[in-house]
Structure 1
């Protein structure tokens, strides 16, 4: 699934291309059971992330991805499709991180990014501040993760463009 109103590719995307209200959808990333278990064993060693048998008796009835694994999958799609590869200057952080539903092996995830705000920096006019609402959806269109993210993005004018 991919639906975007961007008229530029990530390697030619600048602050001016982030239009408030625009909704961009990207990705179809399959959640692999062994990757869920490996991530859990390495970073979040809880039985419902790492042990198929124990997870059957958990609240979830089976192995689920760690929320941090879901966030990492989201970040890959977000970086490759939404952020500019030439003008992104990083992020001071995100807010309102939620995991309202579990992610199971076999789920197919997509990312919906809605531009909430794009404003020119007052202290550094060569860049802007873009605030984005991010939702991760499974194949049933259930929201399995959401958050707000802020990014600093160079303006096209700062690079001598129009």
Structure 2
């Protein structure tokens, strides 16, 4: 069992490696058909004739990939309460079938609150296998602080 990661363990500037995900044509088509049925995500022939010269992943699909990598690498072991906001999303480059995306999460700020929680501001980034940034997201999440040891009275 991995230890729980609490808010007070996070430091501004710390970077978490989120690992990689390979994006398949089938995933792009399935996500596009279900959630973003534009031809550039769902129709190979129409996409080939379009501005991008081929099928590309929906930006929402790309964000979902980053979320999955973040959950697997960090949030699944974090004393995370909930997401608070996404303050910016930048889709920098298209994601194509066969791309291998690498994720990272950088802590920007940890703001403790009086209720035993903290607001954590971070930036998530995905780069493709050539090193091109394809997605950047800035947001905030609500985390728990480590609870006091059992039997210890709070206050002074």
Q: TM-score, normalised by structure 1?
A: 0.87
Displaced runs of 4+ in structure 1, greater than 4 A? none
CA distance in structure 1 between the partners assigned to 2:43 and 2:126 by the alignment: 25
CA distance in structure 1 between the partners assigned to 2:30 and 2:6 by the alignment: 37
1:54 maps onto 2:43 in alignment: no
Q: Which has the larger radius of gyration?
A: 2
1:29 maps onto 2:18 in alignment: no
Once the 2 structures are TM-superposed, how far is the Cα of residue 159 of structure 1 from its aligned partner? 5.0
CA distance in structure 2 between the partners assigned to 1:88 and 1:25 by the alignment: 18
Q: TM-score, normalised by structure 2?
A: 0.90
Once the 2 structures are TM-superposed, how far is the Cα of residue 84 of structure 1 from its aligned partner? 5.0
- Unmatched 5+ stretches in structure 2: 151-156
Once the 2 structures are TM-superposed, how far is the Cα of residue 33 of structure 1 from its aligned partner? 0.4
For residues 9-158 of structure 1, what are the structure 2 equivalents within 5 Å?
9=2, 11-85=3-77, 87-122=79-114, 124=115, 126-156=116-146, 158=147
Contact 1:117 1:131 in 2 (8 A): yes
CA distance in structure 2 between the partners assigned to 1:66 and 1:84 by the alignment: 25
Q: Which structure features the higher share of strand residues? A: 2
Contact 1:14 1:84 in 2 (8 A): no
Contact 2:17 2:73 in 1 (8 A): no
Task: Give the count of matched residue pairs.
Answer: 149
CA distance in structure 1 between the partners assigned to 2:143 and 2:15 by the alignment: 18
Deviation string, structure 1 residues 28-73 (Cα, Å, up to 9, x no partner): 1000101100110111111110011111101111000000000111
- Unmatched 5+ stretches in structure 1: 1-8
